[in-house]
Amino acid sequence: MKNFSVWCELGLSAATLTGCVGSSQRVSLDVPQQPNVLLIVADDLGYGDLSCYGMTRIQTPNVDALARGGLLFTNAHAVASTSTPSRYSLFTGHYSWRRPDTGIAPGNAGMIIRPEQETMADMLKRAGYVTGAIGKWHLGLGDRTGTQDWNTEVTPGPRDIGFDYSYLMAATGDRVPCVWMDNQRVANYDPSAPIFISYQTPFEDEPLGRDHPEMLTKLRPSPNHGHDQAIVNGISRIGYMKGGGTALWEDEHIADTLTARAVEFIRSCCDTTFFLYVGTNDVHVPRYPNQAFRGKSGMGYRGDAILQFDWTVGQIVKTLRDEGLLENTLLILTSDNGPVVDDGYADQAVELLGDHRPWGDFRGGKYSSFEAGTRVPLIVHWPYHVRAGKTTSALFSHIDFYASLARLVQGKHFKHPDAAAPDSHDHLRALLGLDRRGRDYVIEASPWTLSVTDGIWHYIQPSKGPAMNRLTNTELGNAPAEQLYNFNIDIGEQYNLASQRPEKASELKAILEKEKFRGYKL
Ligand code: NG6
Ligand code: CA
């Protein structure tokens, strides 16, 4: 009953809940139970990449249906404009920029979140949830970088930070090892092909993409991006790899593999409350979608990968519906960072982009301090409690998932363990569409600097970083002087008002300084 009181405080109604539909019967519960929590994190999916966010070039009907049945955020933010720091903060409620070691992780990185650190999965597990992580990880596995033995159990791992079950890509599709990790062991391990990984030295007799372009039957790297080392499945990667045999993944089956695992997990949790994180590989490079989607968007593999992402969402929702779980599942769909078009492979994303704008009306993209770096899609769907078909401009940050979910499942008087999620605040009311304002400000991190927005003004701290990522053709927002933009009159961040509005610049700078000073260390 403790959750009932939480919901009453929030002004929500208690109703009869229809529980899991087993093979033969429908169970009616007359007290509310905690919702399942399903967090779908797309990779590099931009604010403008979904039709419910105004895209017209291709359609994402499954995501759009979620938006129609739930709440769509127009001002939601990832913590950082790249994956590792973004996901680190999402899971821990600790700003990645407080740590020097949360940059884009190599595939052989040691586990960045240490077992003693609290995560969202730990918190939900304590609240009685069965927890799972499926898909893209990119938070390191094992004790120390480069010391893992991939032929045995790799530990520590997700199990040590709250996940009962995991089925993961260690890093990204473009980095070795190119195998699935099933509960911290290589899935379908092939004993005839032991696995060795190095990010320093090539293995003798293992052909590299840079020397053997004729072996790159599926994708070739874009000039100067690298991605020309180990060849797996006709695609060259970052890093060196030997072995793997029949355990090596096939890129065209990454989406269906992780979708099948997610469907299985949901079905297996029919009688328990669950938390499932699904990190899709779509729409990260290398983009080599399933045959069912290749060539279907007319925008090249990037567009096809968006269709594939939408399919994954559709399969997950269908499973929830079929199992009678959709009504009481809090489904959150978002992206880890802003979009990028050419991120390393000649997949025609640039040539076929046409008038599609993955970044919406915002400037920059992945890697950037400009707004498109972290302003991401966010849809919240929970038929039992979230009103359908609403849009909210509440300012929301991934940093607050921990505290908001803790509030939901543990109630107001729950005390976090010491040092848990120190930067996370409870914005459950905004997350559920009951508070139209949300946060007072959001801090955004790029690999070079920090910025802060109050939803109208955006202040970017001076930085010595490059102005452009010339490889990806992204404006990074780095400049030696302060920048201040006003979204009300200049959504594309073209007019720097720092010298006209010094008092506003100082006000936002002071917020950043104060946050930096708090400086929680773990
Ligand atoms: C970059 C890679 C890019 C991508 C990114 C990580 C180069 C030149 N580019 O360093 O291809 O892998 O890292 O993307 O190596 S993320 O979405 O996982 O952060
Ligand atoms: Ca990403």
Return residues with CB closer than 5 A to ligand 2 (ion): 43-44, 83, 336-337
Does residue 199 surpass a pLDDT of 80? yes
- The whole-angstrom separation of Cα 502 and Cα 350 is 39
How many angstroms separate the alpha carbon of residue 25 from the centre of ligand 2?
42
Q: Give me the domains of the chain, ranges plus CATH numbers.
A: 6-431 (3.40.720.10), 442-518 (3.30.1120.10)
pLDDT at 40: 99
- pLDDT interval class at 369 (50, 70, 90): very high
- Out of 284, 337, 376, 470, give the residue to mutate to test ligand 1, the one with the largest number of ligand atoms within 8 Å of its CB: 284
> Ligand 1 centre from 343 Cα, in Å?
7
pLDDT digits (tens, 9 = 90+) for 294-304: 999 999 999 99
* CA 229 to ligand 1 centroid distance, Å: 14
Peptide bond into 286 cis (omega under 30): yes
Ligand 1 atom 13: residue of nearest CA:
104
361: CA distance to ligand 1 center in Å?
23
| Residue 518 pLDDT grade (very low, low, confident, very high; cuts 50, 70, 90) | confident
Residue list, ligand 1 pocket, CB within 6 Å: 43-44, 82-83, 104, 138, 172, 174, 225-226, 238, 284-285, 337, 343-344, 471
445 beta partners: 80, 450
Half-sphere exposure of 455 (CA within 13 A, CB side): 16
Distance 74 CA to ligand 1 centre (A): 26
For the CA of 471, the nearest ligand = 1
What confidence score (pLDDT) does residue 411 get? Answer: 73
* Ligand 1 atom showing the smallest separation from residue 172 Cα: 18
CA distance 273 to 38: 11
Inter-axis angle of helices 300-322 and 254-268, to 10 degrees? 10
Ligand 1 centroid–CA 218 distance in Å is 19
Identify the nearest ligand to the CA of 171 by its number: 1
pLDDT at position 206 is: 98
pTM: 0.95
Q: What is the pLDDT of residues 61-78, one digit of tens each?
A: 999 999 999 999 999 999
- How far does residue 399's CA lie from ligand 1's centre (Å)? 22
The whole-number pLDDT of residue 417 equals 79
Nearest bound ligand to CA 44?
2
Q: Which atom of ligand 1 sits closest to the CA of residue 285?
A: 11
Q: b/e per residue, 453-464, with b = 16+ CB within 10 A?
A: bbbebbbbbebe
Long-range contacts of 347-351 (CB under 8 A, 24+ apart): 347/219, 347/285, 347/286, 347/287, 347/288, 347/300, 347/301, 347/302, 348/300, 348/301, 349/287, 349/299, 349/300, 349/301, 349/302, 349/303, 350/473, 351/300
**Which of 9-23, 82-96, 197-211 comes out lowest in average pLDDT?**
9-23
**What separation in Å is there between the alpha carbon of 340 and the centre of ligand 2?**
9
Report which protein residue has its CA nearest ligand 1's atom 12: 174
Measured at the CA of 86, the angle between CA 361 and CA 325, to 5 degrees, comes to 90
Q: Which atom of ligand 1 is nearest to the CA of 337?
A: 17
Ligand nearest to the CA of 104: 1
Of 305 and 12, more confident: 305
* Mean pLDDT (the chain, rounded): 93
Q: Given the CA of residue 138, which atom of ligand 1 is nearest to it? A: 18
State the pLDDT at residue 270: 86
Using the predicted structure, report yes or no on whether residue 412 has a pLDDT greater than 90. no
Per-residue pLDDT tens over the stretch 477-505: 999 999 999 999 999 999 999 999 999 99
pLDDT reported for residue 15: 36
Q: Average pLDDT of 192-204?
A: 98
Interval 11-38: pLDDT, tens? 443 333 333 333 333 333 333 579 999 9
Segment 298-312 shows an average pLDDT of: 98
The percentage of the chain sitting over the pLDDT mark of 70, rounded to a whole number, equals: 92
d(CA 34, CA 260): 25
Nearest residue by C-alpha to atom 18 in ligand 1: 83
pLDDT for res 521:
56
Give the position, in ligand 1's atom list, of the atom nearest the Cα of 44.
17
